[in-house]
Homo-oligomer: A and B are copies of this chain.
Amino acid sequence: MMKRQKIAALLKTENPIENILIKGWVRTKRDAKTFSFIEVNDGSCLKNIQIIVDEKTKGYNEIKKLTTGSAVAVWGNIVSSQGGGQQWEVQAIKIETISLASETFPLQKKRHSDEYLRTIAHLRPRTNKYGSVFRIRSELAYAVHQFFREQGFRYIHTPVITGSDCEGAGELFRVTTLDPSSAMISNKKLNFSDDFFGAESNLAVSGQLSAEMFALALGDVYTFGPTFRAENSNTSRHVAEFWMIEPEMAFCDLTGNMDMGETLIKFLIQFTIDNCSEDLNLFSRFVDKTLMKTLENIIISDFIRLPYHEAIEILTQAKTTFEFEVAYGSDLQSEHERYLTEKHFKKPVILFDYPKTIKPFYMRLNEDDETVAAMDILVPRIGELIGGSQREERLDVLEKRMTESGLSRENYWWYLDSRRFGTVPHSGFGLGFERLLMLITGISNIRDVIPFPRTPGNIDF
């Protein structure tokens, strides 16, 4: 059986090619008296390939019925295009209809709103914009693996179902096999001993604690997998399920951690520019005209490194009215982060040494006994892209911080073990993959860079 060739590869040819087979979907069709132009897309790239079908083409009579979205197989020759707009086109020898799309196919040739396309998330990757989003997403995921592998990191699959709550934020999805209508009602509370894991189990908000165990064995490791927050917020920045990249490095301090975060962000942007120019071009033309300037500015900038307390001073003196008040000891809001990167410094900013009161127990306590060795990387338009820290490697300090945070040492016996047996300074961070995609594509709603977004009330597809 003859194998189909992908349009992405064919369009890169330097010479005409005879006897090719293309399979794909009809985007548009223009009929003239004795011939038709059919634009076919197979998803391998943004571009369609133009097919010329005329009276000599076997199957010419059937193409009258072809609707937008129909699937076709085309045998023919790649020839120089006489018309403008494309270098190559296909002179069809034979065309076959694989299937017709019903006339109710929602993606007719017109612009649709992102809101509407979210309601047909199963079809939106067939549009130019979302095809490009998901091709870039795929390339970026690959780039993450390539980056870490070349630096000798090991990829660790940390568990999604977990008994611990890394961030202590309490925004957890519970995982259960209990039938609530029987087992529990009798004693008016959940009896976890009957549950699948025999204990309360949740979806992981981070793979960090598990990854630390592996960093202390294999050296440099990273996770890259789904993480979950049961946060009831309907904003353009929150989804309940998202992917996170979390490197964890033994023998690495806060400075090394910042260096790694900065290098990674620059690498991933450069990789997209080098490998996804056609798709990226769509976003810089139609989504955000300043996109390339923003991205190139990040690549060439030395990121500002600024202690948290200095950031607070800058924000306090800023001649801008913020919705949320700025005060030492409170978390920065998105508007503050964007002020620092977009208005004040006009480049990415790494904030570090946050007050311990607003950061989790595992961050290393600084000598002032007041701040921890945390660092967040803020970028224009997104705000916080990376959050990380040097981890508390001293057993006694860690235990004290856990007690202060109301965490049970018994539940974390294994985590504490790692500080008993050959503990070393180590650091890591989390990079939200969807936020990275928003940065790189200019798309402003997180729901539009993930295949099937999960938000309060939305479990379709």
Quick check: B163 and A460 within 8 Å, CB to CB?
Answer: yes
A218/B157 contact (C-beta < 8 A), A71-B422, A197-B456, A417-B123 known: no
> A308 at the A/B interface (Cβ < 8 Å)?
no
Question: Looking at the complex, which of A175-183, A294-302, A338-346 is the stretch in contact with chain B?
Answer: A175-183
Cα distance A228–B198 in the bound complex, in angstroms = 17
Say what secondary structure dominates the interface of chain A. Answer: loop
Task: Give the nearest-CB partner of A211 in chain B.
Answer: B451
Q: List residues of A (182-232) whose CB comes within 8 Å of B's CBs.
A: 184-185, 188-190, 196-199, 201, 203, 210, 213-214, 216-220, 225-226, 228, 230, 232
- Distance between Cα atoms of A233 and B26 in the complex (Å): 48
Cβ-closest chain B residue relative to A461: B414
Docked Cα-Cα span, A198 to B456, in Å, equals 7
**Cβ contacts under 8 Å, A423 to chain B:** 71, 98-99
Contacting pair B138 A154 (CB below 8 A): yes
A271 at interface (Cβ–Cβ under 8 A)?
no
Contact between chains at B422 and A99 (CB < 8 Å): yes
Q: Is A418 an interface residue (CB 8 A)?
A: yes
Q: A102-B421, A414-B122, A424-B23 are in contact. Are A175 and B161 (CB under 8 A)?
A: no
Q: Is there an interface contact between A461 and B210, defined as CB atoms closer than 8 Å? A: yes
Smallest Cβ-Cβ distance to A130: which chain B residue: B217
Given contacts A175-B175, A185-B188, A198-B458, 20 further A-B contacts (CB under 8 A): A1-B255, A25-B422, A43-B219, A44-B220, A70-B422, A73-B251, A98-B251, A105-B420, A123-B417, A123-B421, A126-B216, A138-B154, A157-B450, A158-B452, A159-B454, A174-B176, A178-B180, A197-B457, A197-B458, A198-B459
Give the 9 A-B residue pairs with the shortest CB-CB distance, closest first.
Answer: A43-B218, A125-B217, A197-B459, A138-B154, A43-B219, A122-B414, A163-B459, A101-B421, A122-B213
Chain A residues with CB under 8 Å of chain B are 1, 4, 6, 8-9, 23-26, 42-44, 69-71, 73, 98-102, 104-105, 107, 120-123, 125-126, 130-131, 134-135, 137-138, 141-142, 145, 149, 152, 154-163, 172-178, 180-181, 184-185, 188-190, 196-199, 201, 203, 210, 213-214, 216-220, 225-226, 228, 230, 232, 240-241, 243, 250-251, 255, 393, 414-415, 417-418, 420-425, 450-452, 454, 456-461
A-B contact pairs, 17 of them (CB 8 A): A43-B218, A69-B421, A99-B423, A99-B424, A101-B422, A122-B414, A123-B417, A123-B421, A130-B217, A137-B157, A138-B154, A161-B203, A175-B203, A181-B190, A185-B188, A198-B456, A210-B452
